[in-house]
């Protein structure tokens, strides 16, 4: 274990890291002290990066982005990789080199924090450059305190930041709608349930019940604007074992509404939407007219990111 490891933050080689950035703690908020490792494919890393953008702290916390694939063998080894793994021409669009250490694999970051680490090499990872260790790699924990951790440091145009980043969310939803429609469903890539479905589900299931009102992502809703994604989501929830059983809307809604004092200072949990998820599933995806949010900024961002609009 790293000599910098506090057992309360990282108990042993099988444990994650659970540090918090706070003025009176081991990890105080400082400009350019922390670095975030993410993957653009991962909903958990997406949460942390979305907060980073919505709070306008991109200049305070830089990021390194792993490639979307390959992940490794059946056991996940050697894990996520950075650009430049096989030389300067090894570039996966949208990914980056490791900006801190110029290393090839994410697991090497974990081993820098704990050379005996035996857990998963997952994203997101928040790194402390001063103490040379991991602060936190639990997305749910990051989501609770990251929105307010740097409030005393940064001055931002909140409206400008919001206007720039919400269209990115809906550009991605427009693209997902098109992909599922094109595959014919019932899963993202067609007839087979894959990792993509699991990753997308954990974000989309929260969209109408939380993200629309809590993060003001109100250019559209899944149930109102994306008929194909809506049927895909309902099919997973109602018809595929494990999805409904592991989804608790009370926990989801109360976590967000009662944990983010800067966003929801009265900690009021909205009653709606009702129901949390609608019943009845139409699996004839190919016959549906795919939906799209046509806000001009969304369409512009969709063309920039995906080459379509």
121 annotated as belonging to a binding site for a ligand: yes
At residue 115, the pLDDT reads: 94
97 annotated as belonging to a binding site for a ligand: no
Q: Which of 59, 49, 255, 263 is nearest to 169 (CA)?
A: 49
Domain over 158-306 is classified CATH 1.20.1050.10: yes
At residue 229, the pLDDT reads: 98
CB atoms under 10 Å from CB of 141, counted, come to 17
At residue 308, the pLDDT reads: 81
Strands (E), 28-79: 34-38, 62-65
79 touches 71 (CB < 8 A): yes
118 touches 13 (CB < 8 A): yes
Q: How confident is the model at residue 88 (pLDDT cuts 50, 70, 90)?
A: confident
- The alpha helices in the chain, defined as continuous H runs, are 43-54, 106-113, 139-149, 158-183, 195-206, 212-214, 222-225, 227-239, 249-259, 296-306
What average pLDDT does this structure show over 165-173? 95
Can you tell me the distance from the alpha carbon of 124 to that of 141, in angstroms, rounded to the nearest whole number? Answer: 11
Q: How confident is the model at residue 126 (pLDDT cuts 50, 70, 90)?
A: very high
Can you tell me the distance from the alpha carbon of 102 to that of 161, in angstroms, rounded to the nearest whole number? Answer: 30
- The alpha helices in 7-138, defined as continuous H runs, are 43-54, 106-113
CATH number of this structure's domain 34-149, picked from the four choices 3.40.30.10, 3.40.1260.10, 3.30.565.10, 1.10.40.60? 3.40.30.10
Query: C-alpha distances in angstroms, 214 versus 58, 140, 265?
Result: 21, 16, 11
**Catalytic (active site) residue 217:** no
What average pLDDT does this structure show over 85-101? 91
At residue 157, the pLDDT reads: 53
Q: How confident is the model at residue 56 (pLDDT cuts 50, 70, 90)?
A: confident
Pick left, alpha or beta for residue 210 (phi over 0 → left; psi -120 to 50 → alpha; otherwise beta). Answer: alpha
139 annotated as belonging to a binding site for a ligand: yes
pLDDT digits (tens, 9 = 90+) for 203-237: 999 999 999 999 999 999 999 999 999 999 999 99
Within the chain, all domains assigned CATH 1.20.1050.10 are found at 158-306
138 annotated as belonging to a binding site for a ligand: yes
Catalytic residue of the set 9, 21, 38, 42: 42
Residue 262 has pLDDT above 80, yes or no: no
Instruction: Give me the long-range contacts of 78-83 (CB less than 8 A, separation at least 24).
Output: 78/105, 78/107, 79/105, 79/106, 79/107, 79/121, 80/39, 80/105, 80/106, 80/121, 80/123, 81/105, 81/106, 82/106
80 annotated as belonging to a binding site for a ligand: yes
At residue 75, the pLDDT reads: 67
What average pLDDT does this structure show over 39-56? 89
What average pLDDT does this structure show over 63-75? 86
At residue 212, the pLDDT reads: 96
Can you tell me the distance from the alpha carbon of 50 to that of 56, in angstroms, rounded to the nearest whole number? Answer: 10
Within the chain, all domains assigned CATH 3.40.30.10 are found at 34-149
Residue 278 has pLDDT above 60, yes or no: yes
Q: How confident is the model at residue 3 (pLDDT cuts 50, 70, 90)?
A: very low
């Amino acid at each position: 274990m790293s000599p910098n490891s506090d057992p309360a933050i990282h108990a042993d080689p099988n444990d994650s890291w659970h540090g918090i950035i706070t003025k009176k703690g081991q990890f105080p908020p400082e400009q350019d002290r922390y670095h975030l490792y993410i993957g653009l494919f991962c909903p958990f890393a997406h949460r942390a990066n979305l907060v980073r953008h919505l709070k306008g702290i991109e200049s305070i916390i830089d990021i390194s982005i792993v490639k979307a694939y390959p992940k490794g063998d059946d056991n996940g080894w050697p894990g996520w990789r950075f650009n430049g793994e096989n030389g300067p021409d090894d570039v996966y669009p949208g990914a980056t080199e490791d900006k801190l250490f110029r290393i090839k694999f994410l697991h090497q970051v974990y081993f820098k924090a704990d050379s005996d680490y035996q857990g998963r090499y997952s994203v997101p990872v928040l790194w402390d450059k001063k103490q040379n260790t991991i602060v936190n790699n639990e997305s749910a924990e990051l989501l609770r305190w990251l929105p307010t951790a740097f409030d005393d440091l940064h001055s931002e145009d909140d409206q400008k930041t919001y206007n720039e980043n919400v269209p990115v969310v809906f550009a991605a939803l427009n693209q997902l709608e098109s992909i599922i429609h094109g595959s014919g469903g019932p899963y993202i890539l067609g007839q087979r349930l894959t990792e993509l479905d699991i990753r997308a589900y954990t974000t989309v299931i929260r969209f109408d019940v939380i993200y629309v009102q809590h993060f003001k992502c109100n250019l559209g809703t899944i149930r109102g604007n994306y008929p194909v994604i809506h049927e895909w989501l309902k099919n997973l929830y109602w018809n595929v074992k494990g999805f409904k059983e592991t989804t608790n809307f009370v926990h989801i809604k109360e976590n967000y509404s009662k944990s983010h004092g800067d966003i929801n200072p009265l900690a009021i949990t909205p009653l709606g939407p009702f129901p949390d998820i609608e019943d009845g599933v139409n699996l004839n995806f190919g016959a549906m007219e795919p939906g799209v949010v046509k806000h001009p900024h969304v369409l512009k961002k969709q063309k920039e990111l995906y080459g379509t609009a």
